[in-house]
Structure 1
Amino acid sequence: MTYGKKDLPFPYDQDFSGIVTRVKGVREATRVALINSPKVASYLKAGANLIEQHFGGDEPAAAAAAAESGRKPYWSGIRFLSERALSREMENLEPPFLRQKGDGPYRSTWACHDDYLNDLLAFIFHDMNYDPQYNAEIETRGSWVSTDASFVDVVDRATYHELQTICRMPLFRLQLLMVATAHRNDGIHDAISSNYEGALDPWKKIYESTIAARGFQLREGITLDQFTNMLAAITEGFAIRNLGDPSAGVLGDGPPDNLAGMAVLAILNSYLEPVGTTSGTTLRESFGDISDRARPTDGTDDGTDDDCGGPT
């Protein structure tokens, strides 16, 4: 049976124009057809499989690859995406993806391995790839976020599952590696920016609807975009800490005890206010006033004797 592009699973059935940009072809029509061919999609699938095997946590394939190379995975960065490994993976793809043997089909598609890697990373970090890996909408984005009785319990539960979800995502682990090693002006940052767009847009809508449903509004001095980015940074920061030091207790003993939930509650307490009770001040102004009032005043000597044996 012959399979076409439309037979491939999401996101491999999508239009790769503007994502895959480095395939070979003298004529423009040839290149356009190749970009959206099952062949290119299959090579991207093979590369995605290798990434998942190496960054997917305790996958047996990752351990086997490390043992075969004699090195720890983090020593080699993304060197596991070698032409040889890619060829082996292509031979084992399941339909509807194409199986290819040898490096002939590969070399006829990309002029060099770097071109393939650039196209692969642009695809992997495209926002179309976020939700298939995330796969935790019910645990973190369900209707219960707006309807459950206790908003505090909602925050605890959502942050707890969100931490666990992104910690197990190969995409998040790969992103950490890329961000840490890419040059400041490297094009990979554009791809990662696209990934953030896919990740944060749903959350922005959820924050907006949940804030309104709970009878709150953002206080003066903060926008919804800023609010969304702050919560994302908090969650990712705790995820990195949890990956690097699982004994730190980031997840605690359950949702009410997770550190990300505590931090998010602090953000909500600082930047949300009940509708109809607008303070008219920014958090900076409000805390500035509080800190001024809380500062101890300097004591002065009024010349009176104390009870410690002074002159009479």
Structure 2
Amino acid sequence: MTYGKKDLPFPYDQDFSGIVTRVKGIREATRVALVNSTKVASYLKAGANLIEQHFGSDDNAAPADGGRKPYWSGIRFLTERALSREMENLEPPFLRQKGDGPYRSTWASHDDYLNDLLAFLFHDMNYDPQYSAEVETRGGWLRTDGAFGDVLDGAIYDELLVMCRMPLFRLQLLMVATAHRNDGIHAAISSNYEGALAPWKKIYESTIAGRGFQLRKGVTLDDFADTLAAITEGFAIRNLGDPTAGIIGDDPRGHLAGMAVIGILNSYLEPINDPNGLSLREEFEQKSAAARPADRTEDCGD
């Protein structure tokens, strides 16, 4: 049975125009057709499989060539040889290819392929399939049963667990640390953030209003979303680097990450029916002045 592009699972059935930009072809029409071919999608799938095998959870991680740990060699496990082996084992509806001939006829160099692969992986179309966001995390914010603090604890707990097992998150950490300022990786990661945060902003906006709050003066929805993303990613990095630190723990209630998020909400939000109209800095300065001990003048004798 012959499969076409439309038979592939999401996101491999999507339009790769503007994402895959380095395929070979003398004529423009040839390159355009190749970009959205089953062949290119299959090579991207093979590369994604290798990424998942090496950057997935510890239980699923595969050793790199020669038994070396992945962090010794970055993404050097994505060799042409490894890619060819993976292509031979792809399951339908993806296209199986043997040898390196089809690969070399599609990309002029291995670097060109890697750039296209990373641009595809970091595109926002890949965020939800890996994140399982709708099922495990975003829905938690919308719960109306129970205390708001308990709901937040559970949602952040689930979010951290998902993030820590995401191959894409681990790959992003590596790429951010090693990419040059002027290459295309930063633009691809920026696109990923933009696509990933857009639905979260809608969830935050709905949750804040539904719980009777509003953003404090001077705090925008973008500020709120970026702050929570930075906190969550920071705790995920700490947990990956030091699992014994108890950042997540075994109980979705009362963990450190949840405490940090509740602290942000306590500072960034104010009740709709009783706002004080102060910015975050004004609120802090007011409390700081009230907390400062009164100056005391003591008579000093000679």
Fold equivalence (TM over 0.5): yes
- 86-95 or 148-157: bigger deviation: 148-157
1:157-213 alpha-carbon deviations (Å, 9 max, x no partner): 000000000000000000000001111222101100111122211110000001111
1:6-65 alpha-carbon deviations (Å, 9 max, x no partner): 0000000000000000000000000000000000000000000000000002245513x3
Report runs of 4+ in structure 1 exceeding 3 Å deviation.
none
Match for residue 193 of structure 2 among 196, 201, 212? 196
The alpha-carbon deviation at position 145 of structure 1 amounts to 2.1
- 102-111 or 294-303: bigger deviation: 294-303
Match of 1:235 in 2: 232
1:140-169 alpha-carbon deviations (Å, 9 max, x no partner): 222762422311111000000000000000
Match of 2:38 in 1: 38
- 121-130 or 269-278: bigger deviation: 269-278
Taking the aligned partners of 1:303 and 1:5, their CA distance within structure 2 comes to 88
Instruction: Specify the code of the residue in structure 2 equivalent to 1:45.
Output: K
- 283-292 or 27-36: bigger deviation: 283-292
The alpha-carbon deviation at position 114 of structure 1 amounts to 0.3
Contact 1:44 / 1:120 at 8 angstroms: preserved in 2?
A: yes
Contact 2:84 / 2:98 at 8 angstroms: preserved in 1?
A: yes
Taking the aligned partners of 1:39 and 1:252, their CA distance within structure 2 comes to 44
TM-score normalised by the chain length of structure 1: 0.93
The alpha-carbon deviation at position 302 of structure 1 amounts to 2.5
1:228-286 alpha-carbon deviations (Å, 9 max, x no partner): 00000000000000000001110134111221100000011111111132211101111
Contact 1:204 / 1:228 at 8 angstroms: preserved in 2?
A: yes
Secondary structure in structure 2 of the residue aligned to 1:147:
coil
Contact 2:23 / 2:31 at 8 angstroms: preserved in 1?
A: yes
Match of 1:308 in 2: none
Taking the aligned partners of 1:301 and 1:266, their CA distance within structure 2 comes to 39
Instruction: Specify the code of the residue in structure 2 equivalent to 1:38.
Output: T
Instruction: Specify the code of the residue in structure 2 equivalent to 1:50.
Output: L
Taking the aligned partners of 1:245 and 1:128, their CA distance within structure 2 comes to 30
Q: Does 1:94 align with 2:91?
A: yes
Q: How many residues align?
A: 302
Taking the aligned partners of 1:224 and 1:126, their CA distance within structure 2 comes to 23
Q: Matches of residues 1-312 of structure 1 in structure 2 within 5 Å?
A: 1-60=1-60, 62-63=62-63, 65=64, 68-142=65-139, 145-302=142-299
Instruction: Specify the code of the residue in structure 2 equivalent to 1:82.
Output: T
The alpha-carbon deviation at position 70 of structure 1 amounts to 3.8
RMSD: 1.6
Contact 1:5 / 1:37 at 8 angstroms: preserved in 2?
A: yes
- 26-35 or 133-142: bigger deviation: 133-142
Contact 1:16 / 1:36 at 8 angstroms: preserved in 2?
A: yes
Taking the aligned partners of 1:34 and 1:184, their CA distance within structure 2 comes to 30
Secondary structure in structure 1 of the residue aligned to 2:270:
strand
Taking the aligned partners of 1:143 and 1:55, their CA distance within structure 2 comes to 26
Instruction: Specify the code of the residue in structure 2 equivalent to 1:110.
Output: W
Secondary structure in structure 1 of the residue aligned to 2:142:
helix
TM-score normalised by the chain length of structure 2: 0.96
Secondary structure in structure 2 of the residue aligned to 1:256:
coil
Task: Label 1:166 to 1:143 Cα distance change in 2 as closer, same or farther (>3 A).
Answer: closer
- The unaligned stretches of length 5 or more in structure 1 are 305-312
Q: Kindly name which structure, 1 or 2, has the bigger radius of gyration based on alpha carbons.
A: 1
Contact 1:217 / 1:272 at 8 angstroms: preserved in 2?
A: yes
The alpha-carbon deviation at position 139 of structure 1 amounts to 2.7
Contact 1:24 / 1:111 at 8 angstroms: preserved in 2?
A: yes
Identity %: 79
